[in-house]
């Protein structure tokens, strides 16, 4: 009797066909440019909308009501929630750790960060596949970036989503490290280009032309995004029970997320921090 004539073998044959079909779908999901990722992801779309809405609200207020200061645009940014150490320490305005990640200083600033959200945000939300985790990745990366800025620069103020957005690169770093042996060559090229862009971005900030780039926030943001993704994705990897490096990364991430704010607060507590609004809004 042939295998085809055996009903049991025929059933097994169907199962093999079904499993083969599923494996093909999984392989397609692993591609960088999967068509499903171009479907609008709700949380990333909301962040893009919120950033744009706040910027045009700034313009509306600026041209309508707020012309009594000589440097009124900078003053307006501070009023809207820009991050500055003096406002946090002297007036306990801790909300600035969050609000500054949704405020932009110019249309070019907004446009650049919006492009980054379009090209990195949708892919990141697609891979995380959880709106809440994606939102927390954005917020925690931005907050950790602001804590790094709080620690290293108490005089100037900062705005923009770049500290939060570069946290997405932290997500891709952890994906690369924990999946290196399982990712295809196309994806490795993608990671290589991404890391090169991040390196050039951070390097440019140390040049005279890039002096307006907030390097502390970028470093804090990328490590914050890395740490958060290690924590939320650690349980998804089978190697977690035996891989010592993965465990060390997990513990390091928890320590970093809590240690940076504590160190920043303790260091700044012993400093005399000026309120930047005294110099700008005269």
What confidence category does residue 8 fall into, taking pLDDT thresholds of 50, 70 and 90?
A: very low
Q: Which helix (H) or strand (E) holds 157?
A: strand 157-158
Q: What is the pLDDT of residues 163-186, one digit of tens each?
A: 999 999 888 888 787 777 777 777
* Cβ atoms of residues 83 and 153 within 8 Å: no
More confidently predicted of 17 and 45: 45
* Cβ atoms of residues 190 and 245 within 8 Å: no
Q: What pLDDT sits at residue 204?
A: 57
Write phi, then psi, for 83 (nearest 5 degrees).
-90, 130
Q: What is the pLDDT of residues 195-210, one digit of tens each?
A: 777 777 666 556 555 5
More confidently predicted of 159 and 63: 159
Angstrom distances, CA of residue 253 to CA of 20, 143, 249, 250: 38, 15, 6, 5
Domain architecture of the chain: domains with CATH: 43-280 (1.20.1540.10)
Q: What pLDDT sits at residue 39?
A: 54
With 0-12 / 13-18 / 19 or more C-beta atoms within 10 angstroms meaning exposed / middle / buried, residue 97 is: buried
What span, in angstroms and rounded, lies between the C-alpha atoms of 201 and 210?
A: 9
* pTM of the predicted protein model: 0.81
């Amino acid at each position: 009797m042939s295998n085809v004539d055996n009903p049991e073998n025929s059933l097994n044959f169907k199962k093999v066909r079904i499993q083969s079909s599923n494996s093909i779908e999984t392989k397609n999901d692993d591609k960088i440019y999967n068509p499903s990722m171009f479907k609008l992801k709700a949380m990333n779309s909301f962040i893009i909308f919120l950033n744009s809405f706040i910027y045009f609200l700034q313009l509306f207020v600026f041209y309508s009501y707020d012309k009594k200061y000589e440097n009124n645009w900078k003053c307006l940014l501070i009023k809207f929630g820009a991050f500055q150490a003096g406002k946090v320490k002297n007036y306990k305005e801790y909300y600035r750790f969050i609000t500054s990640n949704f405020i932009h200083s110019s249309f070019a600033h907004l446009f650049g960060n919006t492009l980054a959200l379009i090209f990195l945000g949708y892919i990141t939300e697609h891979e995380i596949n959880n709106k809440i985790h994606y939102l927390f990745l954005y917020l925690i990366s931005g907050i950790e970036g602001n804590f790094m800025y709080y620690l290293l620069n108490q005089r100037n103020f900062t705005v923009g989503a770049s500290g939060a957005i570069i946290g997405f690169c932290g997500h891709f770093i952890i994906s690369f490290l924990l999946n290196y042996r399982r990712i295809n060559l196309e994806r490795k090229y993608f990671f290589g280009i991404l890391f090169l862009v991040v390196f050039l971005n951070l390097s440019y900030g140390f040049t005279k032309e890039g002096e307006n780039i907030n390097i502390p926030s970028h470093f804090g943001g990328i490590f914050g995004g890395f740490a958060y993704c290690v924590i939320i994705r650690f349980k998804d990897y089978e190697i977690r029970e035996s891989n010592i490096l993965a465990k060390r990364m997990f513990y390091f991430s928890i320590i970093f997320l809590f240690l940076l704010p504590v160190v920043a607060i303790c260091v700044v507590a012993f400093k005399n921090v000026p309120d930047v609004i005294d110099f700008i809004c005269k």
